[in-house]
Structure 1
């Protein structure tokens, strides 16, 4: 998610170049993604959101009504899961007053009690199926933070036979002058 000031600057630039406004198509789920501001507070991230910009009053919101991926696959469980996520995202699930938490429906997902059980559910046959790209493409362990998934990844990688390769991504520049030159 871009900082609201970036969108405001783009708006001013387009007005200067075109002597008026231009239509911009944004695609996002504003319930999920906030701008990331290093070493900031949650308030700073919320205040940087486009919804708090003076441009928000000009935004026309369109809502998707069909989960195309679930519809194309004819997967009833994927369609149910999609509907449950929308119900949660739209705030239509009751919140427990004492804890502030919601209760998931019984068929929402498969809960596990340990990392080992999670690994066994997601990649039960990693030793025999590690070369099966289609099988691997249907599996993922998602967690809030990358360092939370490091331990399960390490356990799974130790079961794989053969040479391992790590591909690193870069989330920031080491020298800020390089980013602007």
Structure 2
């Protein structure tokens, strides 16, 4: 991860004060988990998403698409099925 810290993208992410991910509900949980791991490591901050993210979306919309997957696969791919969900604060 040392190389990433010195890259242009790494420097940009370290300077950010806030990142908003709109329609995060349609993203696969593995994408969110990867970003969580990256931001924690990059910013050396153990808070969820390095203390940097706001997730926005509507749970009545489409779930993540899993090619050739069953409805159960789609439910398993959503944010609510991720260990991250326990740390998410829900605002309405």
* TM-score under structure 2 length normalisation: 0.65
Deviation at 1:42, TM superposition (A): 0.4
Equivalent pairs, count? 63
**Hey, what does 2:83 align to over in structure 1?**
54
Deviation at 1:2, TM superposition (A): 0.5
More strand by share: 2
**Residue 33 (structure 2) pairs with residue 8 (structure 1):** yes
**How far apart, CA to CA, are the structure 2 residues paired with 1:48 and 1:54?**
12
* Structure 2, unaligned runs of 5 or more: 1-25
**Residue 25 (structure 2) pairs with residue 25 (structure 1):** no
State the Cα RMSD in Å: 0.9
**How far apart, CA to CA, are the structure 2 residues paired with 1:4 and 1:42?**
15
Deviation at 1:33, TM superposition (A): 2.3
Deviations 1:89-140 (A, max 9, x none): xxxxxxxxxxxxxxxxxxxxxxxxxxxxxxxxxxxxxxxxxxxxxxxxxxxx
Higher relative contact order (CA 8 A, sep 6+): 2
**Hey, what does 2:22 align to over in structure 1?**
none
**How far apart, CA to CA, are the structure 2 residues paired with 1:46 and 1:38?**
13
* Structure 1, unaligned runs of 5 or more: 64-181
Deviation at 1:26, TM superposition (A): 1.3
More helix by share: 2
Considering only CA atoms, is the larger Rg found in Structure 1 or Structure 2?
A: 1
**How far apart, CA to CA, are the structure 1 residues paired with 2:64 and 2:28?**
6
**How far apart, CA to CA, are the structure 2 residues paired with 1:54 and 1:23?**
18
* TM-score under structure 1 length normalisation: 0.34
**How far apart, CA to CA, are the structure 2 residues paired with 1:33 and 1:51?**
13
Paired residue secondary structure (1:25): strand
